Structure 1
Amino acid sequence: MSVKDSIYAAEQQVKDFTFDANVVEVFPDMIERSVPGYATIVSTLGKLAGKYAQPHTRLYDLGCSLGAVTLSMRRNLTQSGCEIVAIDNSQAMVERCRMHLQGFRSAVPVDVQLGDILDAKLENASVVAMNFTMQFIPPEQRHALLSRIFNALKPGGVLLLSEKLKGENADVDELLVDLHHDFKRANGYSELEISQKRTAIENVMRTDTLSTHIKRLQDVGFSQTQVWYQCFNFCSMVAIK
């Protein structure tokens, strides 16, 4: 059973959110109670990876955190000669991810790397997953990262992108935020926790509208983009090269 997230339960001087050891300890509970449909997203990303993986290619999990998507992809892989490369810039996340993966047997090799995905070497890829990762990349560097991902993908390869969205206008954004906060209240978060978490994350998570995401994917060369899941301001899409 996961440890309950109570990081923001007590009033405090709120600092910018980081994926440190404290967050790692409660991350499964935090994500389950904060992201509507998270389990569905992770399991479906694995199925999509299984569908689009090509023999003797790499599958990347960029911003892998504890390896939930890596595990899901590995579970669904049937093509021969594939390797999964999982990358995260949090030492605490990477250490726990390696331990977590060791608990599940598989013939598919996984290389868990500590590093910045902006500098990572990407090549011979058929699937690249970014599950709630792009929103933590500086906005001015997102186009270049997507270009590198596109260039690393083989024809017919896919980018699996999940993101928290900003509403297309102020009224819609307020509606989506309110619905999300109701979701968090229903999962036991207090008003103090919701407020302090929002303060902690506002400087490190910069969300885009759905139209911004789709235009950027088109601009770097993806031929098709399809949203397959959305609940409130959380969305997952597949972009095909």
Structure 2
Amino acid sequence: MTNVTVITGGSRGIGAATARRLAHTGQHIAIGYRRDHTAADTVVADLRATGVRAIAVPADTRDPDQVTALFDAAAELGTLTGLVNNAGITSPIGPFTDLDPDDLRRVIDVNLLGYVLCAQQAARRMTDGAAIVNLSSVAATLGSPGEYVHYAAVKAATDALTIGLAKELAPRGIRVNAVAPGIIRTDIHALSGQPDRPDRAASRIPLGRPGEPDEVAAAVTWLLSPDASYTTGAILRVGGGL
């Protein structure tokens, strides 16, 4: 059987790091991405260099038709055994009272609606032994006061989605878990208007530094692997102590 994993937001950051790790385990990969064709092509080239099959599919995960197209394309590679729900955005950091409703809607649509639509497609196609990993955040329990409370609330919803879906899909032998990263060196911070946030926040992280994408990818890869065969409904915190 040819095992295939779909990774949304796979052209950069944690998604790209996870794709590269999974390729070294022999997984064939379909990455979804929004805009950066060059970055997506670079990741696919790296994956193919390991000997696996890989494709990049432009897909807005807020759109049910584009999500279906992503999973249909992945099916051309083989049997769907993994989904990494990783595509995500933040909005400008600031007080809750200044939150723009358009920013709120985008955060909800990408980080929650997108996860639901992708998990739904995966659940329809997966069979015994498959696994889903949702990317949550330590913000889900810390709340992110003064920064992005709405983002934290959506990530708390991600945790609830993970737990509920794990219980619903367990009888079919499909595992569902989440990884909750802390402050990681990715370009998501530039979207919030503070590209230097990881280094500025280092002093409040117990381990004294921000994390790297590959450190999160390692946790995701484990949860997708047979080594985690009895783990479902878990939220694995990878936050340096946060």
Q: TM-score, normalised by structure 1?
A: 0.49
Asked which structure has the greater CA Rg, the reply is 1
Structure with more helix by fraction: 2
